């Protein structure tokens, strides 16, 4: 037993001021094609340049990305370029078996190895895109107890490494008023996460997106929604032709 009197209290520190706490697991939810991945890479880019409002403002920090749905050559790196990222501080994480065969990062199986590389480079942010694909195939993502067995150690990793783990997750087609209920799979995903951010289409402007806070255990949930638009830009003129991608433009 540990007496509460023996525990040193600490203030909450924010990787993204008021919206994404440091040392925690956060979720970024939204329907496919709504722009949540673009937002995640924009946040990552800002962290590598020390531009994201929060504890790392003015202090460029590394970011680790585990992404399986998008191509790094065609999608991820061009988006990072458009967001102005320091590409030398963005790391793709790959996994191989002990025999040298490439495989997918699986949690919580590979948790110790992931923690080691996070500590090694001092990463401030770990992006898992999508989060469900990173869980071991033996885990039933619709059973709370099994999901917690995978996510709670991930939360401990974030706390021990003083980084934020951001999991991207899709939502179902529910039209109910509770955003947290719309997140796919077990309710344990939103229960374990300390912050749940949502990206939705603006009902008043189909070309505009809104970023809202649906859950914030360590801060306010009444923060005003942020707005952004997506514009197409050219980031490189390669030997195969121009490289075009989406760029997030904040709109108030």
- pLDDT score of 64: 98
pLDDT of residue 176: 59
The C-alpha atoms of residue 186 and residue 181 are separated, in whole angstroms, by: 9
Helix ranges restricted to H, 49-143: 77-82, 111-121
Compare 97 and 215 and report the one with higher pLDDT.
215
- Single out the residue of 181, 185, 180 nearest to residue 215, CA to CA: 180
Angle made by CA atoms 88, 80, 87, in degrees to the nearest 5: 5
CA distances from 35 to 29, 86, 116, 169, 243 (A): 10, 21, 31, 12, 19
Orientation of helix 111-121 relative to helix 144-161, angle to 10°: 20
Tokens for 74, please give them.
Answer: 């065609």
Distance separating alpha carbons of residues 169 and 167, to the nearest angstrom: 6
- In tens, the pLDDT along 8-65 reads 999 999 999 999 999 999 999 999 999 999 999 999 999 999 999 999 999 999 999 9
Residues 23-35 pLDDT 10s: 999 999 999 999 9
Task: Pick the closest to residue 250 from 14, 46, 59, 63 (CA basis).
Answer: 46
The share of the chain scoring above pLDDT 70, in percent, equals: 98
**What pLDDT is stored for residue 174 in this prediction?**
63
CA distance 147 to 139: 7
How much is the average pLDDT of 200-221? Answer: 94
Checking DSSP bridges between strand 195-202 and strand 164-169, what pairing results, if any?
A: unpaired
- This prediction has a pTM of 0.94
* 213 within 8 A of 224, measured Cβ to Cβ: no
Question: Which pLDDT value is given to residue 179?
Answer: 81
Band of residue 175 on the pLDDT scale cut at 50, 70, 90: low
**What is the chain's mean pLDDT, rounded?**
94
Exposed/middle/buried for residue 5 (C-beta within 10 Å: 0-12, 13-18, 19+) = exposed
The neighbouring-strand residues paired with 242 are 237
CA 20/CA 196 separation, integer angstroms: 9
* Closest of 11, 13, 21 to residue 164, by C-alpha: 21
């Amino acid at each position: 037993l540990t007496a509460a009197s023996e525990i040193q209290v600490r203030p909450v520190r924010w990787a993204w001021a008021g919206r994404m706490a440091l040392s925690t697991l956060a979720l970024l939810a939204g329907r496919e094609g709504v722009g949540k991945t673009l937002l995640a890479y924009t946040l990552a880019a800002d962290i590598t340049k020390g531009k994201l409002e929060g504890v790392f403002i003015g202090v460029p920090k590394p970011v680790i990305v585990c992404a399986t749905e998008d191509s790094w050559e065609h999608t991820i790196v061009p988006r990072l370029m458009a967001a102005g990222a320091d590409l030398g501080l963005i790391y793709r994480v790959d996994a191989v078996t002990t025999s040298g065969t490439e495989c997918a990062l699986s949690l919580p199986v590979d948790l110790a190895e992931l923690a080691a590389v996070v500590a090694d480079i001092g990463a401030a942010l770990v992006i898992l895109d999508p989060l469900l694909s990173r869980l071991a195939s033996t885990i039933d993502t619709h059973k709370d107890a099994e999901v917690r067995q995978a996510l709670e150690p991930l939360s401990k990793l974030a706390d021990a490494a003083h980084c934020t783990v951001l999991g991207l997750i899709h939502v179902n087609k529910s039209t109910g008023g509770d955003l947290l209920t719309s997140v796919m799979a077990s309710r344990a995903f939103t229960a374990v996460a300390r912050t749940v951010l949502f990206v939705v289409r603006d009902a008043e402007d189909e070309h505009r997106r809104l970023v809202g806070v649906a859950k914030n255990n360590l801060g306010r949930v009444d923060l005003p929604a942020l707005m952004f638009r997506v514009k197409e830009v050219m980031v490189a003129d390669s030997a195969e032709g121009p490289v075009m991608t989406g760029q997030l433009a904040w709109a108030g």
